[in-house]
Structure 1
Amino acid sequence: MTIKDIARLSGYSIGTVSRVINQHPDVSEAARKKILEIIAQENFQPNSNAKHLKQSHSTPITIIVKGSSNLFLETLMEKAEQYLAQSGETANVVFVNERDNEVRQAVQICTERNPKGIIFLGGALENFRSDFGSINVPCVLISGWAKDLGYKNLSSFTTNDYDGARQAAELLTDNGHRKFLIIGGYRTKETDQVSSQRLNGFLSVLKEKNIPFDQNTQYVESMLTMEDGYEKTLPALQRLPDTTAVFGLSDLVAVGIMRAAHDLGKYIPEDLSVVGYDGISYTGYTVPRLTTIRQNIDRLVSEGVDDLLFRISYNKAASHKQIPADPVLHESIRDLSR
């Protein structure tokens, strides 16, 4: 059962349910009684850790954003802050560099600030695997898959990036493309990392269609930023001038790819097709508009934050959910099949 389910059964808003669950005073007695009755019917028991946190003067929820130049995660952050505010909660926001250890930062925050819960926006699973064990407060990882880590206080809500990247590959191959570059992310042994899921999903379609792809030359690692996407695409396109399509593992990388192509005298989509991933608002304003795979930001945030707020106050098992992505067809793919 989620906060949304309780809201539906009680007839009260999600914000009201959240304020009751987190013991805020600005709720009518009638609403509080009805909502608590429904919670009791589901046999949820108060979280003893929540009582301890209240007694020890815990600070607001902390949001840790993985990457200081990631517009997708910044959009998640803004949505999370808005959703928390609707539930009567505030948040402290901390940005960490894409290559830094966000979990060690969380351990330090727990020691210094004693937050009632932590929202991780993005994260490297190797960091959670090695360092998360000392964190005891309820946490949720949004845009990352933590189910296999087995931590009882860590939920995760993410996009099905493997299937999303397969959609990108299907779009390009169905339009006759056979010579690809993939830009973005880093090689890792963690196959459930976001970049690995996107890379492997795209490559699975190429394999099924017997389209050759050499990872040593056609996959280029980069940070998920416009700047790095641009810098890494320039030499790649010069090295492989016959490339007809590029898949950027984020929309920001794809915007960098588009600029690099322009600076090399290539027109999009006439000379080069480009597909991004995330569905940030920028994709509707590039020239041409960027075709992308869109993540469902509203569901990621609402379900992730609901889960965290519930577990702060009640004993509830960690949840893990993958949410589908969908393609947004704009103007950056040329049909070569005609």
Structure 2
Amino acid sequence: MNIRDIAERAGYGVSTVSRVINGQSNVSDQARERILAVMDACGYEPNTNARYLKMRSPSPVAVFVMGTSNRLFGDILTRIQARFWALGEEVAVTHLEDDANEVQFAIGYQQTRHPKAMLFLGGERTYFREAFGQITVPSVLITNTAEGLGFENLSSVTIDNEAAAARAIDYLHAAGHRRIGILGGTRSPEQIGGRRLEGAESALMAHGIVFSRDQDYEPCDFTEEAGYRAIGRLLWRSPDLTAVLALGDVIAFGAIRAIYDRGGSVPGTLSIMGFDGTALSRYSVPRITTVRQDTDALADRSVDLLLQGMQGPAQALHELAPFDILEQESVGAPNTSGVADLLAAAHDTHRLHR
């Protein structure tokens, strides 16, 4: 039983449950009563199992998680918590909305809660560059790099996102695909999605594949709903695509559902490849072929680096974790008319757009 299970049973979002556990006031009485009732009925004990733990000491290790539906972060967080619990360290986890400024939030948190160290699961380099200098405790950024930012108390552990996205394009090219679209994230190289986009685009160019950001790329948030809606916009513009690289598994989940809801199939109509290698990619229908990040390595090295900083002055280190391609069921041979046939069969192409 974890915070996501409580949220599902209570009918509220993870961020709302997190605020209730944290005792924050910006929650309606109805929501608070419902969530507390579910926690009580399930025997849920925040002090030992929650993703936001009440502090038993004045100086916890603070973990800030970007977004409430990033399943990769959930996999990493579980291992991080286990490592710290084994050491007797208190962990306080806060889930932030996707568009939140995590550094400004952490600055305020430092002033009121006085954590001994901080872990950032996800984050935008721009925010760190602008304001991280106000944070004085040892910190580690996970899944994005802090290299080049110049902060002695900020290390980072990530995969090489550009190289990983390029490897995904190589895989799709080897499968015969020559018209490949990209789905998810933003164009900003300061964000993870932007770095993946740049790596994918470089690989497409290296293979001589025609790619236009305006035509063949559709940005979106890292959620199932965003992927569901964005795939329609992308295919409406580029009906000749035979494959799409979704820059997150969660985006791929939504995109695949959209294809099936319109009468198509994956990979029969369109091949869709994910990114992150989340546990659920092995249980979706079809199972998603994806770039798999080594979540154990990301978690373990992040904890190791943070512990070094907590034990005394330590040089900031910026490390790369392994990745590989998890070959499953969502990529097949190219169907050059698959998307066009899907649109034609709908009789109203705006159905897919919506």
TM superposition shift of 1:192: 5.0
In structure 2, which of residues 185, 203, 206 is the aligned counterpart of residue 205 of structure 1?
A: 203
CA distance in structure 2 between the partners assigned to 1:288 and 1:71 by the alignment: 18
Alignment of 1:302-321 (within 5 A): 302-321=300-319
For the Cα contact (< 8 Å) 1:145–1:192, is it kept in 2? Answer: no
Partner of 2:329: 331
CA distance in structure 2 between the partners assigned to 1:126 and 1:146 by the alignment: 10
- The percentage of counterpart residues that share the same residue type is 36
Structure 1 unaligned regions, length at least 5? 1-56
Alignment of 1:183-222 (within 5 A): 183-188=183-188, 191-222=189-220
For the Cα contact (< 8 Å) 2:271–2:334, is it kept in 1? Answer: no
Partner of 2:77: 77
Partner of 1:273: 271
4+ residue stretches of structure 1 with deviation over 4 A?
none
For the Cα contact (< 8 Å) 1:234–1:264, is it kept in 2? Answer: no
Partner of 1:21: none
Partner of 1:250: 248
Residue type of the partner of 2:328?
A: H
CA distance in structure 1 between the partners assigned to 2:133 and 2:225 by the alignment: 35
CA distance in structure 2 between the partners assigned to 1:181 and 1:169 by the alignment: 10
Alignment of 1:58-73 (within 5 A): 58-73=58-73
TM superposition shift of 1:58: 4.3
Alignment of 1:217-228 (within 5 A): 217-228=215-226
Output the TM-score relative to the length of structure 1: 0.80
Structure 2 unaligned regions, length at least 5? 1-56, 336-354
CA distance in structure 2 between the partners assigned to 1:315 and 1:133 by the alignment: 16
TM superposition shift of 1:204: 1.1
Count of residues paired in the alignment: 279
CA distance in structure 2 between the partners assigned to 1:82 and 1:149 by the alignment: 30
For the Cα contact (< 8 Å) 2:289–2:329, is it kept in 1? Answer: yes
Partner of 1:143: 143
In structure 2, which of residues 267, 281, 284 is the aligned counterpart of residue 283 of structure 1?
A: 281
For the Cα contact (< 8 Å) 2:218–2:233, is it kept in 1? Answer: no
CA distance in structure 2 between the partners assigned to 1:180 and 1:315 by the alignment: 47
CA distance in structure 2 between the partners assigned to 1:239 and 1:193 by the alignment: 25
TM superposition shift of 1:193: 2.8
Partner of 1:241: 239
Partner of 1:89: 89
- Provide the secondary structure at the position in 1 that maps to 2:170: helix
Which protein, 1 or 2, shows the higher relative CO under an 8 Å CA cutoff with sep ≥ 6?
1
State the Cα RMSD in Å: 1.3
For the Cα contact (< 8 Å) 2:270–2:334, is it kept in 1? Answer: no
- Provide the secondary structure at the position in 2 that maps to 1:118: strand
Residue type of the partner of 1:331?
A: E
TM superposition shift of 1:335: 2.4
CA distance in structure 1 between the partners assigned to 2:260 and 2:246 by the alignment: 16
CA distance in structure 1 between the partners assigned to 2:195 and 2:60 by the alignment: 33
